[in-house]
Amino acid sequence: MNHSIRSADRSTHLKIVVMALITAIAMTALAIGSRVEAPAATAGVIKAGQPVTMTGLTVVVTR
């Protein structure tokens, strides 16, 4: 058994590359599949130029 990657043969290097590729594809698929969608905004239309008070804030914001 060869314990050094430097002196390993071609098939060993190929096995390592294939395993890394499979792992990267699996991790990407897992990340895309577990993505959580942001909830849709339920606020009404805010017209420009009118002062708007945000919930929980005492500051009036003008947009």
Segment 12-58, tens digit of pLDDT:
888 989 999 999 999 999 988 887 776 666 667 766 776 666 666 56
Q: Which long-range contacts (CB under 8 A, 24 or more apart) does 27-36 make?
A: none
Cα(8)–Cα(49) distance, rounded to whole angstroms?
A: 70
Are the C-beta atoms of residues 14 and 21 closer than 8 Å to each other? no
Output the pLDDT for position 21.
97
Residue ranges of domains in the chain:
1-37
Confidence of residue 4 (pLDDT cuts 50, 70, 90): confident
Rg of the chain (C-alpha set) = 27
Are the C-beta atoms of residues 61 and 51 closer than 8 Å to each other? yes
Output the pLDDT for position 8.
79
Query: Which pTM was predicted?
Result: 0.49
